[in-house]
């Protein structure tokens, strides 16, 4: 009696390519996936519930741990939301500091993505190259706030620490260095035949689907939808800078790859301008009441994190603690399209597609 | 006892971190323990936080300071506001200490179980909430009512009352806010009017419960919709050329204690205009139709809201828990959530 | 050595054979130890790292320490595994890997067995290791292992075909399957080595050989990022060491085979360099092949299963057959 059964395979929660404790239950027919069910929550820490008993400054460290690959942007979205609510004025120097660290963070985050994505695909060396260059940014942050990953750098009304002497110069030196390295990355990887064969045309979707699924960041722009919150709904000082929003055409992993690398270049462009314009003196902390107490009401703001739109929805009752704090996490929303993309793909493409979405599990689970 | 004092000190410091909610002072001697909530001018304390800080009393002496309370009770009436805040704080601390010791005594007498501390805290909270209601409503009568409350020692009811009081406070606050709104016509008013008119015409007059501009959020036009009409409105807002809200940015659920609410933040990728939708649901059997058929983004978001707030979304293709384990009991983001196993 | 094989088997001869075997084993183990060290160092340098540098001078004893660790590690066998096959698989993988080394000639005079069908012997025995890998994957009762084992079976069978056919050209040119004769017939100028006239066969052979070795970019049976560790995911300690050993012994074997078949074995690249002992030349060429394998490991991403199959059957096989055809035409027209 021969009986054919589908193979039920648990990919994760501990698996080298799920980038954390994330699990996908796949039904396999041979190596072809017939059904995929993502299971998450292994890293759910109840940040939103915890936040209801903390005052706003105390919540900032929690945001570090949400998207730990891009803690600066998560820092910013909370501070930005509270500042908008209270109508606080942030000193220019502080805003420049924020913008510089956010763009550096975007570069660092994309470097992590680039390295790990290639590691997923089986190329080992780019990972180490990417981390070597990311290390420079991490050291810059370390110099700034004494932490390498969870910075807790921003505060409502400004930033906690001013740039130490010589810091801006180091950022300035980093820009041409990174531009050179970016060219090297392209030479090293972007033309590799095996690599192209692995990612071209994989994980394809069209613009309509992307919008319907609420994708954001490179996932949305790879379909050609021109939607970058830095341009579409300018926050911080982004309206002062010249930069392009790289767009794709085909909505496949290859386009997402190119967009992310191009975003590094655009971030460097912004950084270059920001470093030039950086005010030589000034406060880094605005006039903020001792107890931060946004007026009663509610507010939603979204900013462009390296992974897409990260948003913060605050319901305040006029207290020092938020009544309800909800984060719109791009990784969580972007991940929704995964089951749809996986059907009919092989196990190998599971890794390619999942990596291409670029998730951080800390953010998925929040 | 010194432990408790230390805790009291902590709590007091926490309370000081949020001055100006209400100021309570005991009227009589310690055994009577009637912390009457005085309707202090709520704006006095926040304007003088710096001045108030140095006046922090060494709390070890709080109970000793209690007998001198009559003076404190008189002070706020005639002295400057600056001093009033400091005094009132001392008074409040004393009141709490008094209330607690009284509670301890009574609990020992009536209730052999030593849960006094917890209950005292609950009562203090109830008193504070009532006081706040009084302060915001500007109603002297309710202040007295609040003063009576702790006497009754309705321990189980304390939380419910606090909630009611808060709701009342909210109502009062809203009553205040309402007349202020028409002052400046919002730049987004036409957009709101257009959406309202469209929905009224296409879906029905009863679909919109309320339409207003959320000025805090950059004049965000906000519609409060009836749950049963949500799907039709959503469909209309997405497909209608002039609206084109094809992108659901965010979906949140909020527990307002009186009711539950979901909020949908929409944006049109073409025009860049924003819109927020809100739908209310009752707490007992919350049901809001799923919008997955309109915006697929809602899928996991609704699951998350279901998981954490317990709102059901009829029409959802796969409504399961998403963050918590499947066998979890309760909805953690609800305000009255008590973990089944407090150790977890 | 060949002469002893002719003699009747006595206790003395048997002991001698055994000692030779032990010596070869020691050499191979030494090679494996330092190949791993070398690989880690080379890849480390390519990735701006230092590589192992803690155990012993310059980290030379790192691999020794690793092996020692593996030997004293607990030997776990999953409860639901097929015990017999699970235990059998690593041994079954290793024995053919070691056995194929018998036919490799190092110099004109240094060799172990001079078999007329040496090449066939190599190909036939190395095929057995595939079975061991499938067995290991199956017996582990683990889905990743099973997938890895299946991939491995598909891959090794697919690539064995072009591997063998690509060598046919060399066999036709030399007219023998004896590895020593094949190496011997290549001349003292480097363009007389087989890799120039048999360039198509050489390229196909190298690609197929890398695939046979399950090394990057064809390391799908292990595929760290997809299948966690593939067929040996459940193995630990000594049994895992055996799989690793097999892998590196095959590296040794393939590097030696490539040297013999295509790179002129012990021949010097120029006649005026013949004063350098042949073994040196052999080792140099051999080391270059080994280095090449490590080099591509640090460079290339992994290929996908369907692409792997497509490459094997749709590209390598036709090309290798074409090579046979072209060689035949050449031999018919110019040599006869």
Tens-place pLDDT, residues A203-218: 889 898 999 998 998 9
Q: Which chain B residue's Cα is nearest to A49?
A: B333
Q: Which residue of B247, B261, B305, B339 is the best one to mutate when testing the A interface, meaning the one whose CB has the most A CBs within 10 A? A: B247
Name A41's Cβ contacts closer than 8 Å, sequence gap at least 6: A365, B321, B322, B323, B324, B325
pLDDT greater at residue C149 or residue B155: C149
C89, C22: one domain:
no
Distance between B279 CA and the closest CA of chain A, angstroms: 15
Q: For residue A328, give the nearest of B46, B218, B250 by CB distance.
A: B250
- How many domains is chain B partitioned into structurally? 1
Is the CB of A195 less than 8 angstroms away from the CB of C143?
A: no
Q: Share the mean pLDDT of chain B.
A: 65
Averaged pLDDT of chain C: 85
Cβ contact A300–B18 (<8 Å)? no
CATH number for the A43-330 domain, one of 1.10.645.10, 3.40.950.10, 3.40.50.10470, 3.30.360.10?
Answer: 1.10.645.10
Q: In whole angstroms, how far apart are CA C195 and each of C186, C220, C257, C283, C290? A: 10, 28, 13, 17, 17
* Predicted local distance difference test score (pLDDT) of residue B44: 39
Contact B265 A84 (CB under 8 A): no
How many Cα neighbours within 13 Å face the side chain of A235? 23
A residues 127-166 closer than 8 Å to C (CB) = 128-129, 132
> Where in chain A are the domains?
43-330
CA distances from A265 to A115, A130, A200, A227 (A): 16, 14, 22, 18
Say whether residue A124 is in contact with chain C using an 8 A CB cutoff.
yes
Give residue C142's pLDDT: 84
Using the Cβ of A32 and the Cβ atoms of chain C, whether some distance falls under 8 Å is answered with no
Q: What is the per-residue pLDDT across B47-74, written as a single tens digit (0 to 9) for each?
A: 444 444 444 444 434 444 444 444 444 4
| pLDDT value, residue C32 | 87
> Residue B17 is nearest to which of A84, A320, A328, comparing CB atoms?
A320
Mean pLDDT of B269-292: 88
B98 inside domain: no
Q: Are residues C42 and C150 in the same domain?
A: no
Q: Give the tens place of pLDDT for each residue, A262-283.
A: 999 999 999 999 999 888 888 8
Q: Which of C43, C300, C304 sits opposite A348 (nearest CB)?
A: C304
Candidate from C48, C302, C306 with C-beta closest to A122? C302
Residues C64 and C80 occupy one common structural domain: no
Lowest mean pLDDT among A178-187, A350-359, B334-343: B334-343
Whole-model pTM?
0.77
Instruction: Chain C: give the shortest CA distance to residue A272, in Å.
Output: 28
Residues of C in contact with A351 (CB under 8 A): 225-226
Q: What is the CATH number of the domain that holds B228?
A: 3.30.460.80
Chain C partners of A122 at a C-beta cutoff of 8 Å? 216-217, 219, 223-225, 300-303
Tell me what the mean pLDDT of segment C244-267 comes to: 88
CA nearest C216 in A: which residue? A122
CB contact, 8 Å: B299 with chain A?
A: yes
Clarify whether residues C287 and C152 are in a common domain: yes
Asked whether the beta carbons of residue B323 and residue A41 sit closer than 8 angstroms, the reply is yes
Structural tokens at position A114: 């680039």
B247 token code pair: 């992108």
Nearest residue in A to C223, CA atom: A122
Tell me: the pLDDT tens digits for A86-124?
Answer: 888 889 889 999 999 999 999 999 999 999 998 888 888
Q: What is the pLDDT of residues C22-51, one digit of tens each?
A: 888 898 888 888 888 988 898 888 888 888
Domain shared by C62 and C115, yes or no: no
Confidence of residue B269 (pLDDT cuts 50, 70, 90): confident
Whole-number pLDDT of residue C194? 81
Closest CA to B289 of B322, B317, B248: B317
Residue A317 to residue B216, Cβ atoms within 8 A = no
Contacts of A239 in chain B (CB under 8 A): none
Longest dimension (CA), chain A: 82
Quote the pLDDT of residue B97. 53
List subunits contacting chain B, requiring 3 or more Cβ pairs under 8 Å: A
Alpha-carbon distance of C108 to C117, in angstroms, equals 17
Of C72, C91, C118, the one marking the end of a domain is C72
Residue of chain C minimizing CA distance to A126: C47
Residue among A128, A194, A351 minimizing CB distance to C225: A351
| Residues C89, C53 within the same domain | no
Question: What residues contact C122, with CB distance under 8 A and at least 6 apart?
Answer: C100, C103, C179, C253, C257
Contacts of C148 (CB under 8 A, 6+ apart): C133, C137, C220, C221, C222, C223, C227, C229, C230, C231, C232, C233
User: A196 touching C, CB under 8 A?
Assistant: no
Chains that touch A (3 or more CB pairs under 8 A): B, C
Checking if the pLDDT of B21 tops 60, the result is no
The partner residues of A304 in beta bridges, in order of sequence, read A309
Residues across chain B: 344
Mean pLDDT of B125-153: 48
Same domain, C92 and C59: no
Residue B342 lies in a domain: no
| Rounded Cα–Cα distance for residues A87 and B76 (Å) | 32
Mean pLDDT computed over B24-40: 40
Q: Under an 8 A CB cutoff, do B324 and A44 touch?
A: yes
State how far residue B30 is from chain A, nearest Cα, in angstroms.
31
pLDDT range class, residue B131, cuts 50, 70, 90: low
**pLDDT top residue among A124 and A76:** A76
Cβ–Cβ below 8 Å for A128 and C225: no
Question: Which residues of chain B have a CB within 8 Å of the CB of A323?
Answer: 254
pLDDT for the residue numbered C325:
92
Q: What residues does B214 pair with on adjacent strands?
A: B220
Average pLDDT over every residue of C202-221 = 85
Pair C130, C208 in one domain: yes
Q: How far apart are CA C139 and CA C81, in angstroms?
A: 5
Give the minimum alpha-carbon distance from A194 to chain C in angstroms, rounded to a whole number. Answer: 6
pLDDT mean across residues, chain A: 89
Q: Give the mean model confidence (pLDDT) for residues B11-37.
A: 42
Q: Which residue out of A23, A37, A41, A317 would a mutagenesis test of the B interface target, given it has the greatest number of B Cβ atoms within 10 Å?
A: A41
Q: What percent of chain B has pLDDT over 70?
A: 46
User: What domain count does chain C have?
Assistant: 2
Range with the largest mean pLDDT of B99-113, C1-15, C283-297: C283-297
The residue out of C72, C97, C119 marking a domain boundary is C72
| Set of chain A residues whose Cβ sits within 8 Å of the Cβ of B304 | 332
> Domain span at residue B274?
189-283
Given CB atoms, is A240 within the 8 Å cutoff of chain C?
no
For residue C63, pLDDT beyond 80: yes
Residue B31's alpha-carbon distances to A10, B35, B95, in angstroms, are 65, 11, 11
pLDDT interval class at B149 (50, 70, 90): very low
**pLDDT at residue B99 above 60?**
no
Complex prediction ipTM: 0.89
CB-defined contacts A:B, below 8 A: 115
C294 plus C209 within the same structural domain: yes
- Digit-coded pLDDT (tens) for A276-305: 988 888 888 888 888 888 888 889 999 999
> How does residue C79 score in pLDDT terms, banded at 50, 70 and 90?
confident
pLDDT in tens, B195-229: 888 888 888 888 888 888 888 888 888 888 888 88
Mutation site for A-interface testing, chosen from B252, B272, B328 by largest number of A Cβ within 10 Å: B252
**Contact between chain B and chain C (3 or more Cβ pairs less than 8 Å apart):** no
Q: What is the pLDDT of residues C158-193, one digit of tens each?
A: 888 898 898 888 888 888 888 888 888 887 777 778
How many angstroms away from the CA of A197 is the closest CA of chain C? 8
Residues of chain C with pLDDT > 70, as a percent, come to 97
CA distance A317 to chain B (A): 8
Q: Do chains C and A touch (3 or more CB pairs under 8 A)?
A: yes
CA distance A223 to A200: 14
Shared domain for C205 and C260, answered yes or no, is yes
The reply to whether C168 and C55 lie within a common domain is: no
Amino acid C196: pLDDT: 80
The closest CB to that of C301, out of A7, A28, A195, belongs to A195
pLDDT band at B170, cuts 50/70/90?
Answer: low
More confident residue, C13 or A257: A257
- Contact criterion met (CB < 8 Å) for A214 and B248: yes
Q: What is the pLDDT of residue A28?
A: 86
Provide the domain limits for residue C55.
Answer: 1-72
């Amino acid at each position: 009696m021969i009986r054919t059964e589908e193979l039920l395979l648990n990919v994760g929660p501990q698996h080298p390519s799920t980038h954390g404790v994330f699990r996908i239950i796949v039904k396999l027919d041979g190596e072809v996936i017939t059904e995929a069910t993502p299971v998450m929550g292994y890293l759910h820490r109840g940040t939103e519930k915890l936040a209801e008993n903390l005052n706003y400054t105390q919540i900032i460290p929690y945001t570090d741990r949400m998207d730990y690959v891009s803690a600066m942007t998560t820092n910013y979205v909370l501070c930005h939301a509270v500042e908008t609510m209270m109508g606080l004025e942030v000193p220019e120097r502080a805003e420049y500091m924020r913008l510089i660290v956010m763009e550096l963070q975007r570069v660092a985050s994309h470097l992590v993505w680039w390295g790990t994505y290639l590691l997923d695909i089986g190329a080992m060396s780019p990972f180490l190259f990417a981390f070597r260059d990311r290390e420079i940014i991490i050291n810059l942050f370390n110099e700034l706030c004494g932490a390498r990953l969870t910075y807790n750098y921003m505060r409502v009304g400004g930033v906690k620490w001013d740039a130490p002497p010589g810091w801006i110069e180091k950022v300035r030196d980093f820009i041409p260095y990174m531009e050179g390295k970016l060219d090297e990355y392209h030479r090293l990887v972007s033309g590799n035949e095996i690599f192209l064969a692995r990612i071209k045309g994989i994980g394809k979707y069209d613009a309509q689907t992307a919008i319907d699924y609420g994708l954001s960041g490179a996932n949305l722009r790879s379909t050609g939808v021109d939607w970058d919150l830095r341009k579409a709904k300018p926050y911080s000082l982004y309206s002062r800078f010249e930069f392009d929003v790289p767009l794709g055409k085909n909505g496949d992993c290859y386009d997402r790859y190119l967009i992310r690398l191009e975003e590094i270049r655009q971030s460097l462009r912004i950084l270059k301008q920001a470093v030039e314009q950086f005010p030589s003196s000034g406060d880094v902390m605005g006039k903020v009441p001792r107890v931060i107490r946004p007026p009663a009401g509610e507010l939603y703001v979204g900013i462009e994190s390296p992974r897409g739109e990260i948003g913060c929805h605050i319901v305040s009752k006029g207290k020092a603690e938020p009544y309800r704090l909800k984060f719109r996490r791009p990784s969580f929303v972007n991940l929704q399209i995964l089951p749809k993309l996986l059907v009919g793909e092989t196990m190998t493409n599971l890794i390619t597609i999942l990596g291409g979405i670029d998730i951080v599990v800390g953010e998925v689970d929040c | 006892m010194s432990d408790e004092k230390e805790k009291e000190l902590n709590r007091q410091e926490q309370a000081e971190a949020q001055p100006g909610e209400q100021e309570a002072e005991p009227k009589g001697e310690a055994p009577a323990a009637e912390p009457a909530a005085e309707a202090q001018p709520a704006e006095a304390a926040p304007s003088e936080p710096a001045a108030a800080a140095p006046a922090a009393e060494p709390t070890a002496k709080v109970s000793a300071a209690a007998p001198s309370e009559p003076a404190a009770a008189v002070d706020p009436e005639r002295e400057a506001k600056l001093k009033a805040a400091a005094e009132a704080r001392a008074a409040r601390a004393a009141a709490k200490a008094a209330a607690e010791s009284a509670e301890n005594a009574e609990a020992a007498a009536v209730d052999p179980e030593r849960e006094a501390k917890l209950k005292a805290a609950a009562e203090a909270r109830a008193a504070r909430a009532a006081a706040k209601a009084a302060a915001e409503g500007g109603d002297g009568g309710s202040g007295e009512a609040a003063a009576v409350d702790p006497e009754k020692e309705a321990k189980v009811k304390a939380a419910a009352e606090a909630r009611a009081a808060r709701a009342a406070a909210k109502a009062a606050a809203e009553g205040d806010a309402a007349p202020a709104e028409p002052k400046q016509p919002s730049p987004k008013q036409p957009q709101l009017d257009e959406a309202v008119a469209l929905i009224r015409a296409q879906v029905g007059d009863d679909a919109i419960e309320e339409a207003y501009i959320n000025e805090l959020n950059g004049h965000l036009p906000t519609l409060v919709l009836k749950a049963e009409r949500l799907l039709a409105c959503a469909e209309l807002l997405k497909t209608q050329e002039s609206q084109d809200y094809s992108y659901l940015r965010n979906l949140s659920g909020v527990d307002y204690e009186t009711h539950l609410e979901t909020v949908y933040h929409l944006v049109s990728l073409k025009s860049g205009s924003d819109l927020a939708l809100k739908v209310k649901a009752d707490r007992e059997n919350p049901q809001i139709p799923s919008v997955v058929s309109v915006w697929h983004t809602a899928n996991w978001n609704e699951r998350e809201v279901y998981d954490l707030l317990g709102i059901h979304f009829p029409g959802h293709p796969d409504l399961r828990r998403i963050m918590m384990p499947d066998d979890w009991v309760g909805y953690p983001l609800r305000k009255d959530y008590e973990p089944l196993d407090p150790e977890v | 050595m060949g002469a002893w094989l002719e003699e009747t088997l006595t206790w003395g001869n048997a002991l001698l054979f055994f000692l030779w075997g032990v010596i070869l084993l020691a050499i191979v183990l030494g090679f494996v130890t330092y190949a791993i060290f070398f690989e880690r160092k080379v890849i480390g340098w390519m990735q701006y790292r230092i590589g192992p540098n803690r155990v012993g001078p310059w980290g030379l004893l790192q691999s020794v320490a690793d092996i020692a660790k593996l030997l004293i590690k607990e030997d776990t066998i999953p409860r639901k595994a097929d015990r017999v096959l699970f235990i059998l698989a690593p041994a079954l993988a290793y024995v053919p890997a070691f056995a194929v080394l018998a036919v490799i000639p190092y110099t004109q005079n240094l060799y172990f067995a001079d078999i007329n069908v040496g090449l066939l012997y190599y190909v036939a025995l190395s095929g057995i290791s595939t079975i061991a890998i499938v067995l290991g994957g199956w017996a582990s009762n683990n889905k990743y292992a099973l997938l890895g084992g299946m991939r491995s079976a598909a891959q090794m069978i697919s690539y064995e075909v072009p591997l063998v056919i690509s060598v046919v050209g060399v066999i036709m040119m030399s007219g023998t399957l004896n590895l020593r004769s094949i190496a011997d017939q290549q001349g003292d100028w480097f363009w007389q080595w087989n890799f120039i006239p048999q360039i198509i066969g050489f390229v196909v052979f190298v690609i197929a050989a890398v695939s046979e070795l399950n090394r990057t970019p064809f390391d799908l049976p292990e595929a760290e990022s997809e299948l966690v560790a593939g067929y040996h995911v459940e193995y630990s300690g000594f049994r895992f060491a055996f799989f690793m050993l097999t892998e590196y012994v095959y590296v040794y074997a393939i590097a030696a085979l490539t040297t013999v078949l295509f790179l002129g074995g012990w021949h010097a690249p120029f006649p005026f360099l013949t004063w350098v002992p042949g073994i040196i030349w052999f080792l140099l060429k051999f080391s270059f092949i080994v280095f090449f394998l490590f080099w591509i490991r640090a460079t290339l991403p992994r290929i996908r299963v369907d692409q792997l199959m497509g490459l094997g059957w749709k590209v390598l096989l036709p090309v290798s057959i074409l090579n046979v055809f072209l060689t035949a035409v050449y031999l018919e027209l110019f040599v006869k």
